[in-house]
Structure 1
Amino acid sequence: MSYEQLKLKNQLCHRLYMASNGITRHYRSHLDTLDLTYPQYVVMMALWEKDNITIAQLVELTAIDGGAMTLILKKMVTKTLIQIASDENDKRKKCIRLLPQGIALEEQAQHIPELIKCGFSNVDEKEISQLICLLDKILKHQ
C-alpha cells in the first residue's frame, strides 16, 4: 500500500531538514577559517550582540539545548574565546563573558552573512524576507 501523505515529496519537515543541512554545510568552509563549528558561531553571534550573560539567557537566545550548550561552551573555553564565571549577584548562576580573542573574532566574521547570501543567488532579498517571516510564524507555535 502506498499512502500519498507519507511520500517524502509531500513532507514540509523533510524539505526544512534538507535545507537546514545544506545551509549548515555551506557555512562550514567559511567557519573553518575561524576555527568555529556552526553551533559555536551561533553562540558567538549571540555574545557579540549581548556579552556577559547567563548560560540560561544564552540558551534562550540561541535555542540550543542546555546539554549541547554545556559541551559547546567547554570547547569555546579551551579555544580562549570565552570565560565562564559565577554571577556576582547569584553564585548559582554562571555568566559567559567574551575574552579578547572572542571579541576580535567578530571583525573576522563580519563578512560571513554576505558570503552565505551570495551562495543562494537564485533567491532574492524579498524571498529571503518572506522565508524568514514564514519560519518565524512556524517557530512561534512550537
Structure 2
Amino acid sequence: MKKSADSLSLESQTCFRLYLASKSVIQAYTPFLKPLDLTYPQYLVMLVLWESEPLSVKDLGAKLYLDSGTLSPLLKKLQDKKIVEKVRSKEDERSVVISLTPQGRKLKDKAFAVQTGVRKEICLDDDKLSSLNVMLDDFTGSFYP
C-alpha cells in the first residue's frame, strides 16, 4: 500500500466499512427481535440451538466463536427468560449442556418473521447478498479457518 494522506482517511479503511456494516445489521435486526424479547447476540445463540440442541457450552461457544466470559452472561439471560436450560452432562459432570425449553422452541416459529423483515430492510437482491456472503466467508476464513 502506498503511503499517502488518503490511506489514513477514515473512509478509506476497510475496517471502518466492516464496523458500519456490523452496526447496520444489528440496527436492522433490533426492531424485529424486540417482539421476541431477544437481543442480537441472544438471537445468534438461539439460531444455533434451533439448529442443533442440546449442546455443551463449549460446543456452543465454538460455533459462535465466543469465549465463556461472553457466552455465560448471554446464557444466563436466556435462562432467566425461561427459553433455555442448563444441565450437567450425565456423561461428564464437568460439562454443562444447554437445551431449549418448550417456550424456546416455540420462538422458532416467530423467528421466520425476523428473517423476512430484515431481508426487506437490507435492500440487497439475492445475487448481491450471495456475493457478499461469499466475500465475507473468504475474509473471515482467513481468521477462522
Q: Which position in structure 1 is the counterpart of 2:125?
A: 124
Instruction: Indicate the SS of the match to 2:36.
Output: coil
Q: Which amino acid aligns with 2:136?
A: L
**TM-superposed deviation, 1:3:** 2.3
* Structure 1: runs of 5+ lacking an equivalent: none
**TM-superposed deviation, 1:5:** 1.4
Deviation string 1:19-71 (CA, Å, 9 cap, x unpaired) is 11011011111111000000000000000000111011101111233211000
Q: Which amino acid aligns with 1:73?
A: L
Instruction: Indicate the SS of the match to 1:97.
Output: strand
* Structure 2: runs of 5+ lacking an equivalent: none
Q: Which amino acid aligns with 2:133?
A: I
CA distance in 2, matches of 1:18, 1:62: 21
Q: Which position in structure 2 is the counterpart of 1:34?
A: 36
CA distance in 2, matches of 1:19, 1:138: 14
Q: Which position in structure 1 is the counterpart of 2:76?
A: 74
CA distance in 2, matches of 1:141, 1:114: 30
CA distance in 1, matches of 2:119, 2:65: 23
TM-score (norm 1): 0.95
Q: Which amino acid aligns with 1:67?
A: G
RMSD: 1.1
**TM-superposed deviation, 1:141:** 0.8
Instruction: Indicate the SS of the match to 1:119.
Output: helix
CA distance in 1, matches of 2:97, 2:77: 16
**TM-superposed deviation, 1:88:** 1.2
CA distance in 2, matches of 1:66, 1:137: 26
**TM-superposed deviation, 1:109:** 1.0
CA distance in 2, matches of 1:13, 1:69: 25
Q: What pairs with 1:1-142 in structure 2 (closer than 5 Å)? A: 3-121=5-123, 123-142=124-143
TM-score (norm 2): 0.93
Give the % identical residues: 33
